[in-house]
Amino acid sequence: MPTAGSFGAVLRHVEGELAAGRLVVGQQLPPERRLAEDLGVSRPTVREAIRVLQALGVVRSGVGSGPEAGTTVIADPAGGIGAALRMHLASRRLPMKDLVETRVMIESVSVRAAAEAPRQGELDHAATLLHQMDAPGLDPYAFHQLDADFHVTLTRAAGNEVNTAIMAGLRDAIHQTILGAVATLPDWPRTAMRLRREHHAILRAVRAGDSEGAAERVAQHVRGFH
């Protein structure tokens, strides 16, 4: 069985290649056999390291032949962040209230920035998501998917890629928890109506350039829902 130290050598090698620019997004890693020979480790060790890199959102592995085959470098930081947060939430080492406050911090900063220097494309996409959420008879699962995408889009509108990746990771990490909570609500339609109203108010404040109003509204919205 590969040890942490042995597949750690593969991880450090890939990290070094990325940092040096010798590996870039869209490029394939060398074949397993070549990596194993170059680094002096076994092929199972290389395979284990690649599984870790997949979990971190650094690579994607494809089988067969053609352009999708092999192990390709991708850029999905949110996938790695979400997977790590889910594990730590499951272990109860990360309190949900702390994740909520992290959301409040990131989203408040983001809507302020979006109100002061708006990216119209992102704001238009946020408006489209709200229009889809307004559809009558939308089930809680579909509503929450759109809701989560709306909040990530607002964060993206601020132009900070790190905050966007963290928000997307948080979205993925708490998805099942929120769906479980929604299932226990005594009056989901009424809750959905309130959430729609709050979403529209946040977006109106951003579009109006009301940075402080948008930040206050999004903080109240996130805390109130959780």
pLDDT at 197: 96
Length of the chain: 226
pLDDT at 168: 84
Spacing of C-alpha 116 from chain mean position: 24
Residue with tokens 């995408």: 149
The CATH code of domain 78-225 reads 1.20.120.530
- DSSP 8-state secondary structure symbol assigned to residue 28: B
Q: What was the pLDDT predicted at 64?
A: 52
* Res 5: pLDDT: 55
Q: Which pLDDT score, from 0 to 100, does residue 183 have?
A: 67
| Delimiting residues of CATH 1.10.10.10 domain(s) in the chain | 4-73
CB-CB contact of 92 with 50 (8 Å) = no
Which residues of the chain have a pLDDT value below 50?
Answer: none
Exposure string for 110-130, b = 16+ CB within 10 A, e = fewer: bbbbbbeeeeeebbebbbebb
pLDDT of res. 215: 96
* Residue 111, pLDDT score: 95
The token duo for 90 is 């499951």
Angstrom distance (rounded) from CA 38 to CA 63: 23
pLDDT score of 95: 79
pLDDT for position 28: 87
CA dist., res. 140 & res. 148, Å (int) = 12
- Cα–Cα separations (whole angstroms), residue 159 to 100, 117, 187, 212: 21, 9, 36, 18
- For 204, half-sphere exposure in the C-beta direction (CA atoms, 13 angstrom radius) is 7
Phi and psi of 163, rounded to 5°? Answer: -60, -40
Q: What fold does the segment set 4-73 form as a domain?
A: Arc Repressor Mutant, subunit A (1.10.10)
Enumerate the CATH 1.20.120.530 domain ranges in the chain, comma separated: 78-225
With 0.85 as the threshold, say if the pTM is over it. Answer: no
| Confidence (pLDDT) at 84 | 75
Residue 160 DSSP symbol: -
